[in-house]
Amino acid sequence: QKEVEQDPGPLSVPEGAIVSLNCTYSNSAFQYFMWYRQYSRKGPELLMYTYSSGNKEDGRFTAQVDKSSKYISLFIRDSQPSDSATYLCAMSQDSNYQLIWGAGTKLIIKP
Amino acid sequence: DVKVTQSSRYLVKRTGEKVFLECVQDMDHENMFWYRQDPGLGLRLIYFSYDVKMKEKGDIPEGYSVSREKKERFSLILESASTNQTSMYLCASRLSGEQYFGPGTRLTVT
């Protein structure tokens, strides 16, 4: 079993929909949780960075961490075609530790 | 803005060739990383470096080596390229948890 599980998709939704992307993990020591966005033929870029449990909001994006269930989510409101990309979750025990990555979910927003 | 650059976007090499992938960052970060990315497998860590001349093996170091002679530059070397090393190679540098990535090098070994 992988330490971090992420459904590879693709997930296809109409423009304007609310998107929910998720990762589950097995290591209860993880405390730092990140979401990266990767456009085709580009490197990943950091979208959201949260520490421990709770929610964090940035514009149309909300990151949610539920440590009791070992489950993290990224919500995208009012989705746009420009949100079409692969979304990767990553997590670590400490900010100086290696990141453990999910496989990435390919998201397609249809106009 | 942090900038991480990689020497080539696309590279085609023959089996058995020695391949050099170069990565340069301009933010004086101490930590640098090399990953490969394959469909369905996500990012897998090949090597990382905490400082100049220091290197640590990641999860899949076999067939690879690295060099870090200067703080801003981290090189990945494929000693004798094989077809199973065809992949997207991503370099990253790190400041306080967040990793900044280069655009990637898509390497094809024929």
* Mean pLDDT of the region A32-36: 95
| Chain A / chain B CB contacts < 8 angstroms | 47
A43-73 residue pLDDT tens: 999 999 998 888 999 999 999 999 999 999 9
Average pLDDT taken over every residue of chain B: 93
Helix (H, G, I), strand (E, B) or coil at B84: helix
Q: Which of B5, B2, B24 minimizes the C-alpha distance to B98?
A: B2
B17-58 residue pLDDT tens: 999 999 999 988 999 999 999 988 889 999 999 999 899 999
Chain A, nearest residue to B48 by Cα: A98
Q: Given this model, what pLDDT does residue A2 score?
A: 78
Q: A42 to chain B: which residues are within 8 Å by CB?
A: 103-104
Q: Does A40 touch chain B (CB under 8 A)?
A: no
